[in-house]
Amino acid sequence: MTPRSIGVLLGAALGAGVLAAAPARAETLDTPSFTIAIERHCAEGNVSCDKVGYTGTSKKNGKAIRLNGKTMHTLCADGVTPCRFIGYEFRNGNVNYIVTDGGELTVTIGRKLVLQERGEWK
């Protein structure tokens, strides 16, 4: 195959949506009690992402929970456009999991704080 024919095939595949799915990008946060794997399933360069996976594994008993969530951002001056990335939000019923860019895990049930730990991104 020539470089030109590879380019034609690649262009056709992209046009057909065959290669359009975004690869998952993973990050891991290590806190005193949990190892948290975050996977973003949005195209590189997207400011916000509503397809984020969370797998939190307890260091105490090895049990894991898998959740779906989204990125969190500050808003720009127009009050609509997402600006600076600040972390991720995941929900499981009335349990809310926040993982910040600074490495903090916060878990609340309703308005009650049940866990707050700082960890290190790996």
| CA–CA distances in Å: residue 112 to residues 11, 58, 95, 115 | 52, 21, 10, 9
Query: Percentage helix, strand, coil, to 5, in the chain?
Result: 10, 50, 35
Query: Between vectors from CA 73 to CA 95 and to CA 109, what angle results, nearest 5°?
Result: 10
What average pLDDT does range 1-21 have in this prediction? 36
Model pLDDT for residues 15-59, shown as the tens digit of each residue: 333 334 445 667 999 999 999 999 999 988 788 999 999 999 999
- 19 vs 68, residue with greater confidence: 68
